[in-house]
Amino acid sequence: MLELSNIDTFYGESHILHQVSLAVHDKQRVAVLGRNGAGKSTLLKSIMNAGTTVKGSVKWRGRDVSKLKAYQRARDGIALVPEDRRIYNHMTVQENVAIARQGVSRSVAMTEARAILGSIEMLSTLGERMGGALSGGQQQMLAVARGLAAKPELILLDEPTEGLAPVIVENMAADIISRCDANQIALLLCEQNIWFARKCTSHVYVIDSGRIVFDGSWEQFAEKPEIAERYLAV
């Protein structure tokens, strides 16, 4: 489905990602673990062509999309939920979800905002509340709901658990798993929270200083505790 081969990414003259290769298969859920500054957000921006200069191959459903703009990749079935959420505080929860229509092809039959919200426990009763009146966890799930509304084939999540209480993280994991399963959506999750990442995914990469240093199953990750100690311990 998504295949990155030997990606080098730059901000101006700053070289951030170095020869990164990874894949997300149809309906697969994949995690990328790494410390702050390891290159996780840059990786997702590279996939979307969102403000970076990228060298290497980006293939989506077998087709090279390296020359497609960010909005074209979104309309082709990739949704990015950024780390900063970008909730519209002056709009209701329902309106925040409905605005996803602006980023997808008019031929896509989007899921109704009420239906999306009704399927997410954290948001089911909050449709008329203003976006700025939500808690951090509710805003994060609203950002996820907006991504899901476009019926993507792949959703990219950037640090969704940052700053959230453990009980909110547990609820978020359950909601994300159920929505991906119900809609047959693949997931690429960039995270520092190992518990959350393992709960939501079946395959894991570890990134450090812009390079992939581990690629395998969670079972293989557990067999190499030195990986977490060296690259993920704070």
Residue ranges covered by each domain of the chain: 2-231
For residue 24, give the 3-state DSSP assignment.
Answer: strand
Q: Looking at the whole model, is its pTM more than 0.75?
A: yes
Per-residue pLDDT of the chain (234 residues), as tens digits, is: 999 999 999 999 999 999 999 999 999 999 999 999 999 999 999 999 998 999 999 999 999 999 999 999 998 999 999 888 889 999 999 999 988 777 666 666 667 788 888 888 888 899 999 999 999 889 988 998 888 887 889 999 999 998 888 988 998 899 899 889 988 999 999 999 999 999 999 999 999 999 999 999 999 999 999 999 999 986
CATH class assigned to 2-231? alpha beta
Radius of gyration of the CA atoms of the chain, in A? 17
What are the residue ranges of helices labelled H in 130-233? 136-149, 166-183, 194-200, 218-222, 225-231
Res 234: pLDDT: 64
User: How far from 10 is each of 17, 50, 161, CA to CA, in Å?
Assistant: 7, 12, 27
Tell me how far apart the terminal alpha carbons of the chain are, to the nearest angstrom.
33
- Between CA 83 and CA 106 the distance in angstroms is 27
**Ordered strands of the 203-208 beta sheet:** 78-81, 154-158, 186-191, 29-33, 203-208, 211-217
Q: What pLDDT shows up at residue 106?
A: 62
